[in-house]
A and B are shown apart, each in its own frame.
Chain A
């Protein structure tokens, strides 16, 4: 356990962490799934956190950034102290669209980060995924851009960080400079007319431009995109995500319920 030490008792360690999700455990406890910059994904028990008098209060609610003291357990670590660093969750929960987007972000982050195994776990990309999610939640909390745009930008960049970078400018197969008319999710984005396999989609050029802007962080272009392009781009991002994660995100399905009601 020496790899996790930080000047504290040998069996404990201290870290900043983003709370991804929680599960109820027993009478008043919860299992907290955390994303940390140095230890990757960590699952830990917070004892008594569901009691209204718990010392943890809101520090271990989803989307919160907290500074934690943990002790290694046999299966799960145990959170002994928690201090709020930035309560992103409070601002996010006050806006339903932001809440739904943040839920999809943390669900993706949970899938993309490796559960820590021993002292070698965490995955080499964990610090990058942590920084990316931190930035995305912060932007959602301060209403920097439309929640759906922030979500799609986060999803594209998280997949790129995980090694599945799409291309929406050059051809994803031959590298011919674009922009190109067709998009093929399985090939990794835009494809030129020569490489275009059957079944490729032909979205509106503004939608492809929006996807490129979301991937590169060109928010001037992204914010100016019309609603139809945003919807089309969101569909392509969802398809790309599903192809690589090999399953649906539950959060995206729930977002669809609300979109049906508030188109």
Chain B
């Protein structure tokens, strides 16, 4: 256990670093001493980057992805297909899907998944904004791309119930066997999903 053994600024830095996700007291102390010993210019550049990101970056007013302007680059891009909206939990998921280069529609970032034990319900997510957005006549399909875990599935279940009345096509990303794995190591639920979602290969 690392107590308050340092004075003033050093202890403040350790405390602040220790509040970051995945950083324990020991790691916080190690990073703090690295910052102390490192080149001042490098560390001031890091401080500037943190300040800039907090000053400039905000959420896109349409899709709630991170953006430096009122609307993000994807919402501003007129070459994107306006008929498809892919609903994801976090901005990180937008980047993951963009890396595939297979989806050319637009996104809607919920800001998390429904997790009642953590106090996160529909009102804490950008679901109301999604429903408002779907009144746009150009949208024809909503793709539910929440995480394939229990919270993500429950969120997709909730959204499909809410979107049922809109008359839009609502789809869910397929789930099943990961590429590069062995069948024998797949758990029953994953393998079951793979069977449910099997597709014809004979055309």
| Interchain CA distance A89-B122 in the complex, whole Å | 20
Residue of A nearest to B23 (CB): A26
Interface positions of B from 100 to 136, Cβ below 8 Å from A: 114-123
Interface hub of B21, B157, B178 (most chain A Cβ within 10 A) = B157
Q: For residue A55, which residues in chain B have a CB less than 8 angstroms away from its CB?
A: 185, 187
B161 contacts the other chain (CB 8 A): yes
Stretch at the interface among B47-55, B68-76, B147-155: B147-155
Residue of B nearest to A19 (CB): B150
Interface positions of A from 83 to 140, Cβ below 8 Å from B: 84, 87, 89-90, 92-96, 99-100, 103-104, 106-107
Selected contact of B117 from candidates A87, A107, A261, CB within 8 Å:
A107
| Interchain CA distance A2-B199 in the complex, whole Å | 51
Name 11 A/B residue pairs within 8 A (Cβ), A-sorted: A21-B117, A57-B187, A58-B150, A58-B189, A61-B149, A94-B153, A103-B115, A250-B116, A250-B119, A254-B116, A257-B121
B7 contacts the other chain (CB 8 A): no
Interface hub of A56, A92, A103 (most chain B Cβ within 10 A) = A103
Q: Once the chains bind, are B181 and A53 in contact (CB under 8 Å)?
A: yes
Interface residues on B, range: 20 to 34
Selected contact of A253 from candidates B115, B119, B154, B158, CB within 8 Å:
B119
| Interchain CA distance A39-B154 in the complex, whole Å | 30
Interface size for A (C-beta < 8 A) is: 38
| Interchain CA distance A53-B122 in the complex, whole Å | 30
Q: Once the chains bind, are A254 and B121 in contact (CB under 8 Å)?
A: yes
Contact with B along A53-89 (1 / 0, CB 8 A): 1011111011100000000000000000000100101
| Interchain CA distance A202-B178 in the complex, whole Å | 57
Interface positions of A from 7 to 28, Cβ below 8 Å from B: 21, 24-27
